[in-house]
Chains A and B, each alone.
Chain A
C-alpha cells in the first residue's frame, strides 16, 4: 500500500516499484504544482552496505494529461547514472560524506530531466543533477536534514525545481492488520474473528522511500498554458500519474556479472490514485494493469463499479454494513472519484472531471487554492477541504481513511440519494497517523529519511 508491492511481478522488482504519487498546488508557492512520485518501497534504513538507489536501467516518468482524453500531454522523464569512485573498496563511503559532492561518497548518483510533449518532441531540462546520499548514520551522513536536502534541490529555471533522493515515507497504513483478513484494529471486536480493540500500528513507521519531486509553474501543465481561476472550467483540471519502465529484455554478461538491457522501454509499474491496483484490480490482472496506460483503463472499469472490498466488508464485519451489503447497483461514486473525476453538480462549487474516458489518474483542479497546511483537513474533500484528495493528493492526506469510507458507502449518496450509508461508513479507519519523520513545509515536503544507525529494528512477535 498504497501501491507498495501491489502486483506479483513488480513486487520482485522494487527499484521500479512506484509506491505513491502526489499532486497538489504548492501551499508555499501557489502559482506552481508539485508532482511527487515515490519508488522503492519499505526501505529499512540500515539496509547496507549496498544501500537503496534509483535504477540506472529504469526509466522513471511523471505524466500529465490536460485535454480530457487521459493521454499524456506532458511527460517528465528521469534517467539515473551511477559512478563508482573507488572500485577497490566495499564501502559505500570512504569517510564522512560532508556534502552531496563529497568524493568520500563512493557511489554517487546523477540524473537528467527531460520534458516530452504530446507530439513526442523532447527537451532536456537539466543533466548531471546530484542525488543526495541515503541517510546512513551520524558518522557517514552527519546532520542529514540540514546538509543534503536543500543542496539536492536543483533549480531548472523558470520557477521549476527538482529533487530526487531518499526521503521518509509519508504514507501511513496499518500494513500488519489490513492484510490479516482486513482487520481494522480500532474495530476488531466486530471482526468475524474477533479480538479486543486496539490502536492502529503504522506499518511504514521508520521506513524510507526514494522520491522524485518536481515543482513547476501551473502554466507548464495546463492545456492553454494559462493559470486558471475558474474552478468549474474543464481547463482547470489536470490528470497525473507516474510510471517506471524497463527495456524489453536483458542479458546477463558473465564477464562483468551484470545485466545489460536491450530494446525499447516497456512500462512495468504505474500509479495514479492510491490503492487502485492494490485493492481494486484482481491479482490475475494486476501485472497487466501495470503495463498499460490510463486510457486503457476501461477494461478495468468493472472492478471499480463492483469492488471486491465492498463485498468483503459486510462479510468480515457481520451486521456492521447491512446497507452496503444490500446495495447492488454499480458504484458510480467510485467511478467518478477514480475513473473520470467528479463532475459538476455533485459537490457544490467543485469539479475535477476530465471527461468520459475512464482512466486512473490523480485529478487536480489547479484553480482550487491551496489550504493553509495548519488548517488543512487530511480527509480532503470528504472533510470539506477541496484542496485535498481526491482533488490531487497532498503528502499528509489520509487516503486510507478516505478510500475505506468511500468503499464502505460514505460517498454513494453523492450520486444516489436513495442510499443511506451505514453508521460505520463514516467512522471506519485503520487507526494510524503519520508517525514517520515530520513533513517539511517546503519542497520536497516529505520528511528527512530515517537514518540507519539511528533506527531501532522492530520487535519479533508471534
Chain B
C-alpha cells in the first residue's frame, strides 16, 4: 500500500520516465502478469448471505426470494401473511 508523499510522487515520476521503454517493448509481458484480481461474487453454498424476500401479492401468497444471483418464487400464504402483518403494523407515512 502506497502512502502518498512528495518524495513518492517525484520518485514515481522518475521511475515512470525510465519505464517507458520497458513498457513499449514488452506489452505482452505486462499483460500476461495478471495481478491479484478478485472474481465476481458467486452464490455461496448454504445461502447464509443476506437475502431479499419480495411479497409480490400477499393475497396469493406469492413471495420471491432473491439470494445471490438467484431467485426462487414460492407460494406460501402463511409467510406472505406474516410479512404483510409486519407491514400493516408500521405507522402510516
Contact = CB atoms under 8 A, between A and B. Distances in A.
B33 A101 contact: yes
Contacts of A106: 2
Question: What's the interface size class on A, roughly?
Answer: 35 or more
B88 interface: no
A13 interface: no
Given A79-B40, A155-B31, A104 B2 contact: yes
B16 to A, nearest CB: 4
B67 A262 contact: yes
B20 A91 contact: no
Q: Find the residue from A80, A96, A142, A265 having the highest chain B CB count within 10 A.
A: A96
A150 B51 CA distance: 42
A152 B33 CA distance: 11
Interface string B54-93: 1000000000101111110000000000000000000000
A321 B58 CA distance: 56
B28 interface: yes
Contacts of A29: none
Contacts of B39: 79, 81, 112, 127-128
Contacts of B30: 99-101, 151
Interface in A152-208: 152-155
Contacts of B52: 249, 251, 262-263
5 contacts: A80-B40, A83-B38, A95-B13, A104-B12, A106-B2
Interface string B1-16: 1111000110111011
Given A85-B2, A263-B52, A264-B69, A127 B27 contact: no
B50 A128 contact: no
A98 B12 contact: yes
B44 interface: no
A79 B70 CA distance: 17
Given A81-B40, A96-B13, A153-B31, A103 B69 contact: no
A129 interface: yes
Contacts of A111: 37
A98 B2 contact: no
Interface string A78-113: 011101011001010011111111011010101110
Interface of A: 56, 79-81, 83, 85-86, 89, 91, 94-101, 103-104, 106, 108, 110-112, 127-130, 139, 142-143, 146-147, 150-155, 247-249, 251, 260, 262-265
B31 A95 contact: no
A345 B31 CA distance: 47
B31 A86 contact: no
Nearest to A56: B40
Contacts of B70: 263-264
Interface of B: 1-4, 8-9, 11-13, 15-16, 19-20, 23-24, 27-28, 30-40, 50-52, 54, 64, 66-71
B46 to A, nearest CB: 16
Given A86-B1, A86-B2, A247-B69, A262 B15 contact: no
A97 to B, nearest CB: 8
A165 to B, nearest CB: 12
Contacts of A143: 20
B4 A89 contact: yes
A52 B38 CA distance: 20
B50 A251 contact: yes
Nearest to A129: B34
B23 A99 contact: yes
Contacts of A110: 34-35, 37-38
A324 B50 CA distance: 58
Contacts of A142: 16, 20
A98 B23 CA distance: 8
A286 to B, nearest CB: 25
Contacts of A86: 1-4
Q: Identify which of B28, B34, B54 gathers the most chain A CB atoms within 10 Å of its CB.
A: B34
Contacts of B23: 98-99, 146-147, 151
A-B CB proximity, top 4 nearest: A110-B37, A263-B66, A95-B12, A128-B37
Nearest to B24: A146
Contacts of A247: 66, 69
Contacts of A94: 2-4, 8-9, 12
Nearest to B30: A151
Contact of B34 (A80, A130, A249, A260): A130
Contacts of B51: 262
Contact of B4 (A80, A91, A139, A146): A91
